[in-house]
Amino acid sequence: MNPTSPNIDIVIIGINVKKYLADCIASIRAADYPQELLTITFVDGGSSDDSVAIGLAAGVRVIELNDTYPTPGRGRNAGLFAATAPFVQFMDADTLLDKDWLKTALEQFDEKIVAVCGKRSERWPDKNNYHVIASVEWHYEQGPCRYFGGDFLARREPLVTEGGFDDLLIAGEEPDFSARLRRTGWIIWRIAAPMTLHDLNMTTFAQYWKRAYRSGHAYAEVGLRHLKIPERLWARELLRVSVTALLPFLLLLAGLLLQRPLSGFLLALAVAVKPLLRVPRLMKSYQITRYIALLYSLHAAFVVYPQFAGVLRYLRTRCGGTPLVNKGRNATPTLSR
């Protein structure tokens, strides 16, 4: 990198984020980076709370989309295409920027790297079991990687040239865009340095189910979209979720049809609890306790069921059903797209 610090546009997206937005902006202003080189933009997807007022009071640029059915891609694109700096840092409003991240990430860029992402950690990792699970989920491979998530620093021009994020995807827009960038020769680089703190803010099983359901929907939508492309992004994840969720029920059914219900039950049980065999490996790989490894393994054994429900929901859309949508300002229960 050129030793001269470049200008950076920072794009924050969110809906009804009055609980988080002021802290998110404050974390950027506390960054060890020349503040005169940073332009902060908050893109509001259609809040009904005071998010817009908080952004204006903080003195940042605010873009109001007023979407009835918002998507993360639409918000990120609004910030991206309003940006003018050579680099753009994307953030979700429920995150805090590490003070050293911008300098650390800029040092990683070369002529082939389009985006750099680091470690996202939970702000309250011990709040409850849902937060413990999320803390384990934030472990990713280092070096060249398949895709960035919601927080990353990127060169602006290539992102604009490739047309930005798909603004119809309700989830999975980052891996989808990452795959398009990599197909044109760009590299996405992940490092172990702290990047952001995130607040999952999950306290109920209903929230857990919804998050898994949406991830399954994204596996199906993005996986099927890339099926004819050699990499087949998320095809393996889609197949794993579908087979793992269906196989126990098929084994139970086969046992009943063959009049061997006990055999069918035992085989189904073996398939369902197979993730528990990963406990020792998880403990070693992630340096976590046996309890956390067991908890995460139980999550892995169960989460495929709401994910498969999300897969079925997307297939219903493909067959002419009403698309799944996010609800923003003045949303009604149904939408035809």
pLDDT above 60 (res 335): no
pLDDT above 60 (res 22): yes
pLDDT confidence tier of residue 333, bands split at 50, 70 and 90: very low
Rounded to two decimals, the pTM is: 0.91
Task: Provide mean pLDDT across the span 309-337.
Answer: 75
User: What are the extents of the domains in the chain?
Assistant: 8-200, 204-337
pLDDT per residue as tens digits for the range 58-73: 999 999 998 888 999 9
Tokens linked to 69: 């059915």
pLDDT per residue as tens digits for the range 134-184: 999 988 889 999 999 999 999 999 999 999 999 999 999 999 999 999 999
158-to-1, 40, 165, 177 alpha-carbon distances in Å: 17, 20, 12, 11
Q: Tell me the C-alpha distance between 11 and 75, whole Å.
A: 9
Task: Provide mean pLDDT across the span 267-282.
Answer: 93
**8-200: which CATH architecture?**
Alpha-Beta Complex (3.90)
Q: Tell me the C-alpha distance between 316 and 312, whole Å.
A: 6
